[in-house]
Amino acid sequence: MISRVLAFIAVLSLCVQGAAAQSVLRDAETEAMFREASAPIFKAAGFNPDAIDLVLLNDGSINAFVAGGQAIYIHSGLIGAADSVNELQGVIAHELGHITGGHIIRFDEGLKPATGITVLSLLLGGLAAAAGSADAAMGVFMAGQQAAMGKFLAFSRAQESSADAAGADFLSKAGISGRGSIEFFKKLQNQEYRYGYSASSNPDAEFYRTHPMTSDRLSTLQDSYSRDPAWNTPPPASLQARFLRVKAKLYGYLADPQDTLRAYPEYLTDVPARYARAYAFHKEAFVDKALAETKSLIASDPENPYFLELEGQILLESGRPADALGPLRRATALTGNSPLIATTFGHALIATEDKDNFAEAEKVLRASVVRDRENPFTWYQLGVVYEAKGDIPRARLASAEQQLMNMQLGNAVRSAEAAEAALPKGTPDWLRAQDIAMSARAMMERQRKSR
pTM of the model: 0.79
Q: Are residues 279 and 395 in the same domain?
A: no
Q: What is the DSSP string of 325-392?
A: HHHHHHHHHHTTS-HHHHHHHHHHHHHTT-GGGHHHHHHHHHHHHHH-TT-HHHHHHHHHHHHHTT-H
Sign of the CA dihedral with 21 first, then 26, 30, and 35 last: positive
CB atoms inside a 10 Å sphere around CB 363? 14
Please give the single-letter amino acid code of residue 67: A
Sign of the CA dihedral with 193 first, then 195, 196, and 197 last: negative
Sequence-distant (≥ 6) Cβ neighbours of residue 78 within 8 angstroms:
62, 63, 64, 88, 91
271 within some domain: yes
Q: What angle do CA 89, 375, 17 make, to 5 degrees?
A: 55
Tell me the C-alpha distance between 365 and 381, whole Å: 8
106 within some domain: yes
Q: What is the model's pLDDT at position 202?
A: 52
Q: Are residues 186 and 282 in the same domain?
A: no
Per-residue pLDDT tens for 68-89? 778 999 999 999 999 999 999 9
Q: Are residues 35 and 114 in the same domain?
A: yes
Are the beta carbons of 169 and 101 closer than 8 angstroms? no
Sign of the CA dihedral with 186 first, then 188, 192, and 197 last: negative
Residue 209 has pLDDT above 60, yes or no: no
Higher pLDDT among residues 261 and 212, named by residue: 261
Q: How confident is the model at residue 127 (pLDDT cuts 50, 70, 90)?
A: very low
Q: Which of 226, 242, 277 is the last residue of a domain?
A: 226
Q: Are residues 148 and 18 in the same domain?
A: yes
403 within some domain: yes
Share of the chain above pLDDT 90, in %: 64
Average pLDDT over residues 147-152: 43
Q: Are residues 58 and 134 in the same domain?
A: yes
Average pLDDT over residues 164-186: 91
Report the Cα 263 to chain-centroid distance in Å.
24
373 within some domain: yes
Sign of the CA dihedral with 150 first, then 60, 174, and 43 last: positive
> DSSP character for 83?
S
**Integer angstrom CA distances of residue 237 from 33, 75, 111, 248, 352:** 13, 24, 45, 17, 40
Q: How many domains does the chain have?
A: 4
Tell me the C-alpha distance between 206 and 212, whole Å: 7
Q: Which of 335, 360, 383 is the last residue of a domain?
A: 383
Per-residue pLDDT tens for 368-418? 999 999 899 999 999 999 999 999 999 999 999 999 999 999 999 999 999
Q: Are residues 25 and 136 in the same domain?
A: yes
233 within some domain: no
237 within some domain: no
Q: Which of 206, 226, 246 is the last residue of a domain?
A: 226
Per-residue pLDDT tens for 297-329? 999 999 999 999 999 999 999 999 999 999 999
206 within some domain: yes
Tell me the C-alpha distance between 400 and 409, whole Å: 9
Q: Are residues 143 and 216 in the same domain?
A: yes
365 within some domain: yes
**Integer angstrom CA distances of residue 3 from 7, 10, 319, 396:** 6, 10, 55, 46
Q: Which of 102-106, 161-165, 418-422 has the highest mean pLDDT?
A: 418-422
- Structural domain range at position 451: 391-451
Sequence-distant (≥ 6) Cβ neighbours of residue 234 within 8 angstroms:
86, 177, 240
> DSSP character for 198?
S
Q: Are residues 368 and 395 in the same domain?
A: no
- Helix, strand or coil for residue 34? helix
Mean pLDDT of the chain: 83
Tell me the C-alpha distance between 363 and 404, whole Å: 23
Q: Are residues 74 and 190 in the same domain?
A: yes
Is residue 302 exposed (0-12), middle (13-18) or buried (19+ Cβ within 10 Å)?
exposed
Q: Are residues 361 and 422 in the same domain?
A: no
Q: Crossing angle of helices 134-174/214-226, nearest 10°?
A: 20
Instruction: Give the bridge partners for 64, in sequence order.
Output: 74
Q: What angle do CA 209, 215, 221 make, to 5 degrees?
A: 110
Residue 270 has pLDDT above 80, yes or no: yes
Tell me the C-alpha distance between 248 and 276, whole Å: 5
Sheet holding 53-57, edge to edge: 24-25, 53-57, 71-75, 64-66
Q: Are residues 293 and 314 in the same domain?
A: no
Q: Are residues 46 and 195 in the same domain?
A: yes
